[in-house]
Chain A
Amino acid sequence: MSKPRPIEEGLAVVLRGGVVLSMVLVAAGLGLALYQGTQAGTGIELIRLGLLVLVATPVLRVIWATGVFALRRDVVWTCIGAAVLLVLAISFLLGAAGPA
């Protein structure tokens, strides 16, 4: 059996993609917002979208890693990844629902 490609490579691509995309969005939005000099509008919307991409990136990399382990039929590590995702989902839902 050939050695599988190291998991690091795919994860690096996911993370770099998220970082570059969010930086472009945030930079474009900030430039536009400063140029327009407003507290609302397309610039602010772009910044918000960019920040959303940034925050979603680490979650996406857990999903990616879990998917890779699942494809390799690695039961233990698929379960570990799924458990981390589950805790993240619960934290998010409780945080979104509660005041705090």
Chain B
Amino acid sequence: MTFTLVTFVISLLAGAFGAILGLGGGMIIIPALTLLMGVDIRVAIAASMVSIIATSSGAAAAYLRDRLTNVKVAMFLELGSTTGALTGAFLSALVPRNGLFVAFGVILAFSAIAMLRRMGERDKRIPPDPLADRLGLHGGQAPDMPAYRVSRSLLGLFLMYWAGVIAGLLGVGAGVLKVPAMDIVMGMPLKASTATSNFMIGVTAAAGALVYLLRGDVDELTTAPVALGVLLGAVVGAKALAALPVRGLRIAFVVVLIVVAVRMVLQGVCG
């Protein structure tokens, strides 16, 4: 009973946090379950896969209603992220883990710097993108966000493929890579980036989670409070995003990037 309640409360926080920042919350759920609650790592990873989907679906309805999610950009980029996740799952037996962690950490550190540099920048002229024009990727106006133009969509697709590879290799949602790719490379507003990343991670994780579920890797009594907590947290968190200041959001995201980057490098170096 205590286990269920504590897990539920931690998941509630992870869901709210993940929904706002466009992340799956696996980075919170996995260590919380294994270190704090003494859950087996396999069970924790399976629970985290379910939590990624819960964060995504729980927040998505609110973001769609607020017109923050760019559905077309999400579907276009899912071409890359799902293919990448498939590749990553295959490569996982071949690639040395330690080098991977370090590489991932370095990418995140660079993303953090690039995202900080976008602070306070206004309407920088973005290069025209004929593909984005043709596919109609540009974002319409939302109550809390101006209309915007999407740029470098092919480069974005390429980066999403690699974000998917890392997601498949490490068993994470890789929202920490998806948000910077949309924010820095494709020139989308930060709120559109986190909402669209949130929308995408559920699809990237779906195939893997379904396999876990059917194979019986999911421990019901552990995963049930995680799913409920994350869902409720995401629903509440999603209500807050539209009203949050972009500046604070950006700082929070950069802090998360740096924390994860340091952890990844340490994990890679120390084994």
Given contacts A39-B221, A84-B203, A87-B79, contact A95 B211 (CB under 8 A): yes
* Bound Cα distance from A9 to B57, whole angstroms: 14
Closest to B71 in A: A7
Contact A65 B228 (CB under 8 A): no
Q: Encode A22-46 as 1/0 by CB contact (under 8 A) with B.
A: 1100110110011000010000100
A51 touches which one: B65, B135, B202, B213 (CB < 8 A)?
Answer: B213
Residues of chain A lying within 8 A (CB to CB) of residue B79: 80, 83-84, 87
* Bound Cα distance from A44 to B220, whole angstroms: 6
B18 sits at the interface (CB 8 A): no
Contact A55 B50 (CB under 8 A): yes
Contact B227 A57 (CB under 8 A): no
Contact A92 B210 (CB under 8 A): yes
Q: Which of B44-65 contact A (CB under 8 A)?
A: 50, 53-54, 56-58, 60-61, 64-65
Q: Encode B1-28 as 1/0 by CB contact (under 8 A) with A.
A: 1001000000000000000000000000
CB-based A-B contact count at 8 angstroms: 147
Shortest CB-to-CB span from B215 to chain A, Å, is 7
Contact A8 B78 (CB under 8 A): no
The residue among A39, A50, A84 with the most chain B CB atoms within 10 A of its own CB is: A84
Residues of chain B lying within 8 A (CB to CB) of residue A87: 79, 82-83, 86
B145 sits at the interface (CB 8 A): no
A80 touches which one: B53, B76, B209 (CB < 8 A)?
Answer: B76
A-B contact pairs, 28 of them (CB 8 A): A15-B57, A15-B60, A15-B61, A19-B61, A26-B224, A26-B227, A30-B225, A33-B221, A34-B4, A44-B221, A47-B220, A47-B223, A47-B224, A50-B227, A51-B223, A52-B213, A54-B231, A55-B209, A57-B57, A57-B202, A58-B205, A62-B78, A65-B75, A77-B135, A84-B78, A91-B208, A94-B86, A94-B89
Mark B residues whose CB is within 8 Å of A: 1, 4, 50, 53-54, 56-58, 60-61, 64-65, 67, 69, 71-72, 75-76, 78-79, 82-83, 85-86, 89, 92-93, 135, 202-203, 205-211, 213-215, 218, 220-221, 223-225, 227-228, 231-232, 235
Q: Which 4 A-B pairs have the closest CB atoms?
A: A95-B211, A58-B202, A91-B207, A12-B64
